[in-house]
Structure 1
Amino acid sequence: MDDFLADVAAWCAVVIEAIGIGTIALFALYALFNAVLRLLKRESLDLIFQELRQLLGRGILLGLEFLIASDIIYTVAVELTFETIGVLAIVVLIRTFLSFTLEVEMYGKWPWQDKRE
């Protein structure tokens, strides 16, 4: 029974990881497509660049959330050792740092700051 649950958890982790990768890829393609269309309409390059970066950042943030979820599922349900927990902690810290820095890059403020400031 434990092997069955481990197999299901590993499969779920792979599916969620694929969703994360797909999310990043789809947002990147959409952002590029949107930028090209706006370039053809001769809109402001600064506005196009800013929106392209924001769309890419949003896609990366959302994709990172899925990737973190898949890492947690895999580590906890499939390969639970002190070494894998340590690696998971480092990966989550790095991805969390990336999420925070992307948030600051896109909006100019930390995620916990009031949006009206």
Structure 2
Amino acid sequence: MDFQQIIEAVGRYMDFAGVAVMVVGAVASIPLALRGYKPKRLPASSAPLSVYRSYRQLLGRSILLGLEFLVAADIIRTVAVTPTFESVGVLAVIVLIRTFLSFSIELEITGRWPWQKAPAPTPDSGAHPTSPAS
């Protein structure tokens, strides 16, 4: 077995791992969402998530992790095996698309872009600034 075949095999295993993470994450998220999973970053004063929202957040995290594996597999195969301008260009397009997907999913899950800091907890955590005054 030569170097190129080993790298191709590693790339295939990474692809498999990425897909497996997404599938296992989608299946494992169902019982967690049904049991009322609450993310740690969710403010204590916020209302509990519906089963649907909870499942979407868990599924989104699984997809993000799976995408990381898939990008790593593409990079391994492209860089380790004699790169051409065409293969590097295809890799660039794939990475751009997957990065856009990752940012979109992160925005959907957390309500912030990945580079934005989490909002600081307010000292008056019992009051909701968006609720009307009585």
Q: TM-score normalized by structure 1? A: 0.85
Residue 77 of structure 2 corresponds to which residue in structure 1? Answer: 74
CA apart distance, 1:7: 1.3
Shift of 1:33: 3.3
Which residue in the other structure is 1:41 paired with? none
Greater Rg over alpha carbons, structure: 2
Secondary structure in 1 aligned to 2:50? helix
Structure 1 runs, 4 residues or longer, greater than 6 Å off: none
TM superposition shift of 1:36? 4.7
What residue in structure 2 maps to residue 48 of structure 1? 51
Equivalent AA in structure 2 for residue 16 of structure 1 = M
For residue 80 of structure 1, report the CA deviation from its aligned partner.
Answer: 1.4
Q: Distance in 2 between matches of 1:30 and 1:36?
A: 11
Give the RMSD, CA atoms, in angstroms: 2.0
Structure 1 Cα separation of the partners of residues 64 and 90 of structure 2: 21
Q: How far 1:17 moved relative to its partner? A: 0.8
- CA distance 1:79–1:32, change in 2 (3 Å): farther
Among all aligned residue pairs of Structure 1 and Structure 2, give the percentage whose two residues are the same amino acid. Answer: 44
1:37 Cα deviation from its structure 2 partner:
5.4
TM-score, reference length from structure 2? 0.75
Higher relative contact order (CA 8 A, sep 6+): 1
Stretch moving more, 46-55 or 97-106: 46-55
User: What letter matches 1:108 in structure 2?
Assistant: G
Gaps of 5+ in 2: 37-48, 121-134
CA displacement, residues 33-85 of structure 1 (integer Å, 9 cap, x when unaligned):
334556xxxxxxx6111110000000000000000000000111125111111
Q: Which runs of 5+ in 1 are unaligned?
A: 39-45
Aligned match for 1:5, one of 3, 6, 19: 3
Question: How many residue pairs end up in the alignment?
Answer: 110
How far did 1:8 drift?
Answer: 1.3
Determine which structure has the larger helix proportion and give its number.
Answer: 1
